[in-house]
Structure 1
Amino acid sequence: MNDLASTAAPGRALCPPAVRAALRRAVPGLAAYAAIRLLGLVALGAWSAAKGKDWHVLLTARWDSLWYTRVAEQGYGYTVHLANGDVHSNLAFFPLLPWLERGLSALTPLSAADAGMAVAWLASLAAALALYLTGERLHGPRAGVLLTALWAALPVGVVQSMAYSESLFTALAAWGVYCVLTGRWVAAGVLASLAGLTRPVGAAVVAAVWITAAVTVANERAGGVRPRAFLRGPHRRMLLGVLLAPLGWCGYVLWVSVRQGSLTGYLDVQAGWHNGFDGGIAFGTFVWHQLTGPAFAAGLGLLLGVSLVIWLYVHGVRKGQPLPLAVYGGTVLLIALTAKGYFGSKPRLMMPAFPLLLPLAAGLARWRPVRAWLVIGVVAVGSAVYGAFWLNGSGPP
């Protein structure tokens, strides 16, 4: 893994001039991101109008958005008992997004649902900025711009504009991983903790902090650094970041366990939704049924899609992707592919795994600009049309 040395070296705290300089460099990337997402919203508005639906409702008051809004307005404790015996508890939804919805709606005229959409829009821009800086650091400015554009143009990119937690989580995760890359361990720990309050996959950010710190310490000890040195200076900040990283995730899971009166409280809540982890058995069975049934084409497409994301991950690692990115992206991918539940949500669950897009961004950056942006344009139009179709149909669960 390259760039590990820069990971170990502590970075200077960003000063305002450095922040302004970073923002100026990121303007093309942020503009590309905003343009692609605006195209998606225009397509959604036009499609919804043709179907007699309200695009605003689709973004703020459907599916999981309703659950987050209810937590923001009424707190935890709401449960739905279905006729088939399933028990859907709002304890399955991590609290940071509802907290922000409640706070923003208390300070502004926005409803909790609209506050959720506002948080998602602002967080998606923050995520795009972190993606640009990561791509710029590893492969240059063009790759940074293209990485933000590719993330915006994902087939399920419309979720980034919904009152869902994916944008907020990706922003916290991307900045957390970037802080690990630049040696800002305390900030990385805080961001990992906040990511752990946002989604269950926050464990991936914790893993990036912990494993990178462990490898850094191991390498330095092999280089002759004495154990006492790890309690001083930058190593003390590394230790603090490592200790802070799991607090959000562990805190919420333990709180649910206490509330449920069981050590497996959160897992029990997820089981009520038919969610959980089985090593990918349920997902593999689902794909096999598709391939051996009348939906062969859909099954083949699904298999090819999974193969592509796995190839992108392996390719990135073989090309020397820095350790924090490899650990984070691999953990997100592993959790998404080994989880059972509603299989149509897997593309959404993999959306925060932005390191998978780095090889594509780096490759496109070597093309002529006209050719590269023609590809981005075609992908963006496809994403806009698919997103509009998807939300006006089955949509995300």
Structure 2
Amino acid sequence: MTNGGRVQRLRALHPWLGRLPPWGLVLLIWAGSRLLTTTLLATLFAVATRLDWPFASYRSDPNFFTFSGSWDSSFYRQIALHGYPSELPTDAAGQVEPNAWAFLPMFPWLVRGVSAVTALDFYVAGTLVAIAFGVGAALMLYRLLAPRVGEHCALWAVALFCFGPLSFILQVAYAESLFLFLVFASLGLMLSKRYLLMIPLAVVAAFTRPGVLALSLALAILLVLRWRERDRFAWRERWSIVVAGLAIAAAGLAWPLVAGAVTGASDAYLDTELSWWTGFVGRVEFVPLTPWFLMAGQYLGVAGTVLVLVLVAGFGWWLSRRALHPLRPEIVAYSASYGLYLVAVFLPQQSLFRLLLPLAPLLGDPAIARSKPLRRGLLAVSVALQPVAIVLLWFVGYP
């Protein structure tokens, strides 16, 4: 059955579904996912409050909205209310401690503006901002995928994205939903060859969360691939790719310079990021492309090194499959670039799972939508893991 036939059969189940445009179906999926996730969050918050469970981070006024205030949100609130420290906090040994410089300013500034206009508390305003851009991210994901893989595959990708184990992050006071919206929108412009229009979106994304350098590298890969088609590769398009890639790269590298200029410490940002590593691997020097091996070797020895190599090889195999041909070259180039970014600079720990969300376009893999057991199995597992993730990340660790 064709993609269109599957969607029509879905719409035939309820007459009113047939009157919904594609974006209406996306909103319906989003609403259903938020109903489920909000119910799980509210239930676990009520149970934890009644049974006096300790939360992962201290909150002086615990309520349902400050329930989203673990870790990152508390730093975003600090930035919104007080800005960034001009001096890096250090421990008794003079080592830099975790501080606000690890977090980029766009989300807290935006929430501060909403709070100023509405007089809402930071956590309430942050939740509303996250939800708004979460809706936008789901719509952008569909718009990104539908022309490439069809409506059926795109809707299943959106469903898996919205119901994913970490989907609660799309409605709490975190910067993920804003970043995802900007990245998906930028990828959409890349697919339509409007490279220069990517710049403002990607620059905002660069000051929202780390990871925008993957867009710049994807453009570089695209330039190399298109160069082989010189007869059909206009000079104007070449220069647009080059200008967009350089501008995005500059934005992606700017925050460490800002942190160094304000604090007077050239390694302020790097030292701040490394301060989060101490609980896992102790005090170490940063060497690109080694964090995954460092973490795996620390806890699993040689087996850990082999595991990392297997994961990298498996990811490369997935991207090289013929089934992903509809997503090439832009989406595959971006996915490879973002995967390389994670391996190059990120120490894998509990935050890894939410940092995988920018790879959501790969959920448009036609092999997923074609296999009924696979797509239903993935959806069922995703829903089942949501309460597990909430308990682990909000009551044991931090998200």
Q: TM-score, normalised by structure 1?
A: 0.78
1:102 is displaced (CA, Å) by: 1.5
When residues 344 and 55 of structure 1 are mapped into structure 2, their CA distance, relative to the original with a 3 A threshold, is: same
Q: Which amino acid aligns with 2:369?
A: A
Cα deviation code 1:157-205 (max 9, x no counterpart): 2222221111111111111111101112122222221211111211112
Q: Distance between the aligned counterparts of 1:110 and 1:212, measured in 2?
A: 44
Q: Which amino acid aligns with 2:296?
A: V
Q: Distance between the aligned counterparts of 2:42 and 2:72, measured in 1?
A: 20
Q: Distance between the aligned counterparts of 1:310 and 1:57, measured in 2?
A: 41
Which of 128, 143, 148 is the equivalent residue of 1:118? 128
Q: Distance between the aligned counterparts of 1:374 and 1:357, measured in 2?
A: 13
Is the deviation greater in 240-249 or in 128-137?
240-249
Q: Is the 8 A contact 2:212 2:252 kept in 1?
A: yes
Secondary structure in 1 matching 2:222: helix
Q: Could you say what the CA RMSD is over the residues aligned between the two structures, in angstroms?
A: 3.2
1:236 is displaced (CA, Å) by: 5.6
Task: Give yes or no for the alignment of 1:146 onto 2:156.
Answer: yes
Q: Which amino acid aligns with 1:74?
A: H
Equivalent residue, structure 2, for 1:70: 78
Q: Is the 8 A contact 1:131 1:174 kept in 2?
A: yes
Task: Give yes or no for the alignment of 1:332 onto 2:366.
Answer: no
When residues 263 and 50 of structure 1 are mapped into structure 2, their CA distance, relative to the original with a 3 A threshold, is: closer
Cα deviation code 1:76-119 (max 9, x no counterpart): 11754445644223122111111111111111122223222222
Equivalent residue, structure 2, for 1:349: 355
Task: Give yes or no for the alignment of 1:203 onto 2:213.
Answer: yes
Q: Distance between the aligned counterparts of 1:380 and 1:342, measured in 2?
A: 21
Q: Is the 8 A contact 1:150 1:376 kept in 2?
A: yes
Which of 46, 49, 54 is the equivalent residue of 2:46? 49
1:220 is displaced (CA, Å) by: 4.1
When residues 265 and 80 of structure 1 are mapped into structure 2, their CA distance, relative to the original with a 3 A threshold, is: closer
1:372 is displaced (CA, Å) by: 6.6
When residues 236 and 337 of structure 1 are mapped into structure 2, their CA distance, relative to the original with a 3 A threshold, is: closer
Q: Distance between the aligned counterparts of 1:372 and 1:288, measured in 2?
A: 33
Q: Is the 8 A contact 1:277 1:338 kept in 2?
A: no
Q: Distance between the aligned counterparts of 1:375 and 1:148, measured in 2?
A: 15
When residues 238 and 291 of structure 1 are mapped into structure 2, their CA distance, relative to the original with a 3 A threshold, is: closer
Q: Is the 8 A contact 1:204 1:328 kept in 2?
A: yes
When residues 288 and 92 of structure 1 are mapped into structure 2, their CA distance, relative to the original with a 3 A threshold, is: closer
Q: Is the 8 A contact 1:48 1:388 kept in 2?
A: no
When residues 391 and 192 of structure 1 are mapped into structure 2, their CA distance, relative to the original with a 3 A threshold, is: same
Q: Distance between the aligned counterparts of 2:154 and 2:312, measured in 1?
A: 20
When residues 126 and 310 of structure 1 are mapped into structure 2, their CA distance, relative to the original with a 3 A threshold, is: farther
Q: Which amino acid aligns with 1:344?
A: Q
Q: Distance between the aligned counterparts of 1:104 and 1:272, measured in 2?
A: 31
When residues 340 and 243 of structure 1 are mapped into structure 2, their CA distance, relative to the original with a 3 A threshold, is: closer
Task: Please list, as runs of the form range in 1=range in 2, the aligned pairs for 1:98-109 lying within 5 A after superposition.
Answer: 98-109=108-119
Q: Which runs of 5+ in 1 are unaligned?
A: 1-22
Q: Distance between the aligned counterparts of 1:108 and 1:49, measured in 2?
A: 27
Equivalent residue, structure 1, for 2:10: none
Q: Is the 8 A contact 1:72 1:102 kept in 2?
A: yes
When residues 122 and 220 of structure 1 are mapped into structure 2, their CA distance, relative to the original with a 3 A threshold, is: same
Q: Is the 8 A contact 2:291 2:348 kept in 1?
A: no
Q: Is the 8 A contact 2:210 2:252 kept in 1?
A: yes
Q: Is the 8 A contact 1:193 1:249 kept in 2?
A: yes
Q: Distance between the aligned counterparts of 2:370 and 2:354, measured in 1?
A: 29
Equivalent residue, structure 1, for 2:16: none
Equivalent residue, structure 2, for 1:287: 296
Where in structure 1 do 4 or more consecutive aligned residues deviate above 6 Å? none
Q: Which amino acid aligns with 1:278?
A: V
Secondary structure in 1 matching 2:338: helix
When residues 41 and 312 of structure 1 are mapped into structure 2, their CA distance, relative to the original with a 3 A threshold, is: farther
Q: Is the 8 A contact 1:189 1:243 kept in 2?
A: no
Task: Give yes or no for the alignment of 1:58 onto 2:67.
Answer: yes
Is the deviation greater in 311-320 or in 139-148?
311-320
Equivalent residue, structure 1, for 2:385: 383
Equivalent residue, structure 2, for 1:14: none
Q: Distance between the aligned counterparts of 2:328 and 2:360, measured in 1?
A: 13
The percent identity for this pair of structures is: 26
Task: Give yes or no for the alignment of 1:88 onto 2:98.
Answer: yes
When residues 381 and 283 of structure 1 are mapped into structure 2, their CA distance, relative to the original with a 3 A threshold, is: same
Q: Which runs of 5+ in 2 are unaligned?
A: 1-19, 54-62, 279-284
Q: Distance between the aligned counterparts of 2:31 and 2:251, measured in 1?
A: 30
Matched positions, count: 357
Task: Give yes or no for the alignment of 1:169 onto 2:173.
Answer: no
